[in-house]
Amino acid sequence: MQLSVYVLKPGDVQPGGVGRMQPGGVGGPGAEDREGSGPYTRGSLPGPWAHRRLQFNEQAVERVRQIIGQVAAAGDQALRELSRQYDQRELPQPLAVAPEALAQAARQLDPELRQALELAISRVRRFHEQQKRRSWRLAEEAHPDADPSWLGQEIRPLRRVGIYVPGGRAAYPSSLIMAAVPAQVAGVQEIAVVSPPAPGGAGVHPLVAATAELLGLRELYPIGGAQAVAALALGTESIAPVDKVVGPGNLYVTLAKRELFGATGVDMLAGPSEVVIVADAAASPDLVAADLLSQAEHDEAAGCCLITPSPELAAQVQRSLEPLLQALPEESRRRAEDSLCHWGAIYVVPDLEAAFCLANALAPEHLEIQVEDAEAWLNRVDRAGTVFLGPWSPEPMGDYVAGTNHILPTHGTARFASGLSVDDFVRRMTVVSLGPSRFRLLAGPVMRLAGEEGLPAHAASVRLRLGLGPQGPGPSAPRSAQTGQTAPAVRSALERSATVQRSTRETDIRVELHLDGQRQLAIRTGIGFLDHLVEQLAFHAGWDLRLDARGDLQVDAHHLVEDTGMVLGQALREALGGKQGIARFGSAWIPMDEALAFCALDLSGRGYLQYSAHLPPGQEQVGGLPLYLLPEFLRALAYTSGITLHLNLDRGANAHHMVEAGFKALGRALAQAAQRPAASSQARPADVPSTKGVL
């Protein structure tokens, strides 16, 4: 028996894994997923693996649809008729295998076989326990006084699952173990098992019945084929419908899964098994040949592929195959010969880098790495169901007792799919729990986005909670783009918030401000130092602030800086509202390294700025911000918001520190002046006296 050999020329691969097409070669553009992932694509390869993909003929599809229709219409009666037609078996009455039959099958197990099954169950359970997910919560609060708000994820197991266990030529207890254990680890409460009927008192193969007993499963039905999948998905008089069907099967089982997806969940659409072996000159040709045969005996359509940079190893593997093949029992030998004839291949590549590029392109179900220092090459693998490292980790170990799952994606679907796991038996349910302050902070963006998407009822849902009418003003109100006018602000009736948008020919600025916040900040003006100063102001004031300012900074920063102060000032004025009961006055000294700054202000509504700064000579600009623009920003902020503001950058040797201390002092003074009695350390009267009345 000789496998087809394909030699890929050195010219097909360039350094770094970037391919180029050569006359007669298999490289080509578009195959690289990342550096080193290679020039190969499955379709561009010579040989049968270029065409190895799941294919369904229409005749089989139509027959499966008829079977599903029969089960949907006639339930148990259809199952009995189809069993007589396809399996030549009469199904028992009642349909389920009796519990005593399961117990008897387990008692009759050969002790050594029972020990092997129990070892497999134990190791598979131990591995899958590590896959369990946890529920979690992400708190959004920055301090304990805020109302609780959080986002989270809750993990819930599926309630009821169906497992298909193949039968026919032989029994496959390992497939039952691989499907049932992760479901049990996930916490699934009800597991229904179906398997084709077989001679014997249990109705199914005694080994499958015994394994079910060892796993603690009590619901087993002797049904196979598409009708079994239909019964699990749709339900019958005897079988309650399930949330998901898992487990391997033949073409008709796979087609039934595809047709019934939606009525139930399915794990994957898998085809005949396959192995790819990457081996170098140090690998044993006998072991490589034996591992290829171990896969070939599964099925006439099983795929077996060797990738090697060593022509000598390729020739030695060819010589090793024949005596190993002849040593197999006749039925296994026949299946292996058919598999190797139609789906066997050896690819000789320039080097190991090219070998792993090709392996990733094939995205095989099983990938064996039989090279020196195999683990060092693991990071080259992006696409495989399960990887087996080194000569002592052959694929048959994964089929039975290694602990990993052997229900895996085939035919290149490992590009996007993974093997069966605990994740297949749980639902991830996300949770939103917002308190009133967090809701009000997020309300503006929600209304704006809803307006943009033409969903007014979404916006109304938010407005009503803000104490506004369902058609009240919102962030989605039209902007006056070229006039310099400001779009209407949105302010909560219960909390001090505002959203302001202002667009002119020179700038486009949006501010979302919440005075009683948790210091959630997102500042972007395009001027790094201005971002920093506004962030310090908002942080020390205790605000939530989102500020997005855009302008032509290559021409002049003046408009952007001044307009940013203006829009922030208007948002502050809107958020303060009527100012009832606030402290009104605020002041703060801020020492910062060698710098010292002082701020005093009055929120009475009389806009005024007194600014004094003795900045060190030669420091006209910091972080892209010309310092002569600072008073322009402060004047726009003070006059638009109605603040009487005195800011003195008293001393310092560093302009950065002096200005930063001033903005921190401004933030502290604003926080003090805007305090309400409930938020203050000392009780204050509801009205603050003034020489001209009260605030």
Q: Is it the case that residue 213 has pLDDT exceeding 90?
A: yes
Owner of token pair 């009525």: 263
Name the catalytic one among 140, 297, 365, 574.
Answer: 365
Q: How far apart are CA 390 and CA 362, in angstroms?
A: 20
Q: Identify how many contiguous H helices and E strands the chain contains and give both numbers.
A: 19, 26
Q: Is it the case that residue 480 has pLDDT exceeding 60?
A: no
Query: Are 151 and 180 spatial neighbours (Cβ–Cβ below 8 Å)?
Result: no
**Residue 435's pLDDT is what?**
87
* CA-wise closest residue to 624 among 688, 531, 551, 499: 531
- For 11, 123, 487, 490, the CA distances from 477, given in Å and listed in that order, are 62, 62, 7, 10
Q: Percentage of residues in the chain with pLDDT exceeding 90?
A: 71
Q: Is it the case that residue 490 has pLDDT exceeding 60?
A: no
**Residue 10's pLDDT is what?**
66
The residue with greater pLDDT, 16 or 626, is: 626
**Residue 167's pLDDT is what?**
85
**Residue 9's pLDDT is what?**
79
* CA-wise closest residue to 347 among 5, 48, 49: 5
* CA-wise closest residue to 692 among 572, 589, 602: 602
The tens digit of pLDDT for each residue in 262-307 reads 999 999 998 899 999 999 999 999 999 999 999 999 988 899 999 9
Rounded mean pLDDT, 578-582: 82
Strand runs (DSSP E) across 329-445, as ranges? 344-348, 366-370, 386-389, 426-433
Please confirm, yes or no, whether 366 is among the known catalytic residues.
Answer: yes
Q: Which amino acid is at 559?
A: H
Owner of token pair 């894994």: 17
**Residue 201's pLDDT is what?**
54
**Residue 175's pLDDT is what?**
96
**Residue 203's pLDDT is what?**
86
Q: Name the band, by pLDDT with cuts 50, 70 and 90, for residue 320.
A: very high
Q: Name the band, by pLDDT with cuts 50, 70 and 90, for residue 543.
A: very high
**Residue 169's pLDDT is what?**
65
**Residue 39's pLDDT is what?**
61
The residue with greater pLDDT, 238 or 553, is: 238
Q: Is it the case that residue 64 has pLDDT exceeding 70?
A: yes
Q: Is it the case that residue 681 has pLDDT exceeding 50?
A: no
Q: How far apart are CA 378 and CA 53, in angstroms?
A: 25
Least confident range of 64-73, 152-161, 492-501: 492-501
The tens digit of pLDDT for each residue in 376-435 reads 999 999 999 999 999 999 999 999 999 999 999 999 999 999 999 999 999 999 999 998
β-strand partners of 509: 502, 549
Residue 134, Cα to own-chain centre: how many angstroms? Answer: 15
Name the catalytic one among 128, 205, 366, 532.
Answer: 366
Query: Are 303 and 272 spatial neighbours (Cβ–Cβ below 8 Å)?
Result: yes
Please confirm, yes or no, whether 452 is among the known catalytic residues.
Answer: no
Query: Are 204 and 195 spatial neighbours (Cβ–Cβ below 8 Å)?
Result: yes
The tens digit of pLDDT for each residue in 461-478 reads 998 888 776 665 433 333
The residue with greater pLDDT, 148 or 358, is: 358
**Residue 16's pLDDT is what?**
36
- For 329, 407, 424, the CA distances from 113, given in Å and listed in that order, are 21, 22, 29
**Residue 29's pLDDT is what?**
29
The residue with greater pLDDT, 483 or 438, is: 438
Q: In a 3-state reduction of DSSP, which class is residue 510? A: strand
Q: Give the residue ranges of DSSP H helices in 151-219.
A: 173-186, 206-215
Least confident range of 138-142, 194-198, 566-570: 138-142
**Residue 690's pLDDT is what?**
42
| Average pLDDT across the chain, whole number | 87
392 secondary structure, DSSP code: T
Q: How far apart are CA 557 and CA 66, in angstroms?
A: 73
Q: Is it the case that residue 104 has pLDDT exceeding 70?
A: yes
* Token pair belonging to 567: 């829009």
Instruction: Let me know if 521 is exposed, middle or buried by CB neighbors in 10 A (0-12, 13-18, 19+).
Output: middle
**Residue 200's pLDDT is what?**
56
197 secondary structure, DSSP code: B
Q: How far apart are CA 180 and CA 174, in angstroms?
A: 10
Q: Is it the case that residue 249 has pLDDT exceeding 50?
A: yes
